[in-house]
Chain A
Amino acid sequence: MPKPYKQKMSKTWWLDHPAYRLFMLRELSGVFIAVYFLVLVTIMSKADTPEALAECLASLRTVPWYLFHGVILVFSLLHTVTWFDLAPKAIVIPLGEDRLPGIFITGAHYVGMVAISLTVVWFFGVFS
């Protein structure tokens, strides 16, 4: 009985192809966003008075925290762009024999993101 050779997958398979690297960065971006969420929740739990909030915000005005937020911003943008670009693969809106072009679905995601962001900012009274 011939024995088939079992091909092995390298532990660094995700370095082998640009698409895999981008995928891993997209997955990793979720970790950064989760960490940012924890920081945000910590600030919200501690800043129960305007003075405490001001103190918290002042403590964030240091170089390491600026770097931290810069990295979070880059990964958040990466996650947003790569994920919204993939949205037309998951959402198909048939128009007779054609389908709504993907650019409209991706565009709708960006419009929704801006609308929700503005609503949150408005809710916390930034515009008042």
Chain B
Amino acid sequence: MVEKTIILEVFRYHPDQDEEPKFQSFEVPFKTDWVVLDALNHIKDQIDGTLSYRWSCRMGVCGSCGMMVNGEPKLSCAAFLKDYGDGPIQVKPLSHFPVERDLIVVLDDFMEKLVQIKPYIVRKEEKSLEDGEYRQSPAELARFKPFSMCINCMLCYSACPVYGLEPDFIGPAALALAQRYNLDSRDEGREERQQLVASSEGIWECTFVGECSAVCPKHVEPASAIQQAKVASTMDWFKERIPFLAPKHND
């Protein structure tokens, strides 16, 4: 019996040899339990060892293997070959990012933005160990928990046309993480983040296309986080101008 196969059209770019990228076709075995990452591993192991791509956990946790599969941002470890009919399947690096080589993109821009939004708990004054832990109720946890599931796979950046058109845009994942910490009852860093979050490169650049949420493999809903941050920033504007809305300071 002849083994069923499927064609993968893979984006190839070698920075030292190519001026422009090209597509290379590979015929790989079609197995119903194979994902695109399995097919790429087959190519690298059996056909062309020079093919370059990132991957690690193979279980949708590490966020390393994001690629454009037939034009959609996908974790290649979660994109089953059987969902693409008889093929061919086109595999490209994540959109909007510079390509280092083949399917590997340059992450520097995202990493710099991620650091800028301070994705960690900021305290004005740390409690001493004797004062005990920072307690949090299940209801307080529920407010930010969905936004904390981000695995930094950057599929949302590839799905966001605003990021493609305006590379200065902080972008969906970083802004969702900013909102995650702003909503955390233990955090006191909102004011520090707000300078960037509420800037023209921040939430107000978002035009609410909503595809960042649609492609997120962890259902983080960055579009929701950004809109909630817009509502909160708008409330800030009113609080500054309407005295009885202003927060009361005890000091």
Contacts and interface: CB of A to CB of B under 8 A. Distances in A.
Contact of A89 (B21, B142, B165, B213): B213
Q: Among the interface residues A6, A16, A86, A89, which one has the most CB atoms of the partner chain B within 10 A?
A: A89
Interface string B91-119: 00101111111000010000000000000
Interface stretch (B1-9, B37-45, B227-235): B227-235
Contacts of A97: 138-139, 141-142
A59 B71 CA distance: 50
B231 A91 contact: yes
B99 A89 contact: no
A20 interface: yes
B164 interface: yes
A89 B208 CA distance: 10
A5 B13 contact: yes
Interface string B5-22: 000000001011010110
Nearest to A6: B98
Interface residues of B, number: 38
B138 A7 contact: no
Interface residues of A, number: 25
Interface in A3-48: 3-7, 9, 13-14, 16-17, 19-20, 23, 27
Contact of A90 (B139, B142, B228): B228
Given A2-B15, A2-B100, A9 B165 contact: yes
B223 interface: yes
A19 B72 CA distance: 12
B60 interface: no
Contacts of A98: 142
Nearest to A5: B99
Contacts of B95: 7, 9
B207 interface: yes
Contacts of B227: 86, 89-90
B121 interface: no
23 contacts: A2-B16, A2-B101, A4-B15, A4-B99, A4-B106, A5-B15, A5-B98, A7-B93, A7-B95, A7-B99, A9-B95, A9-B161, A13-B164, A17-B71, A19-B209, A19-B210, A19-B214, A23-B210, A86-B227, A90-B230, A92-B228, A94-B143, A99-B142
Interface of A: 2-7, 9, 13-14, 16-17, 19-20, 23, 27, 86, 89-92, 94, 96-99
Given A23-B207, A97-B142, 14 more contacts: A2-B15, A5-B20, A5-B98, A9-B164, A13-B161, A13-B164, A20-B209, A23-B209, A23-B210, A89-B227, A90-B227, A92-B228, A94-B139, A94-B143
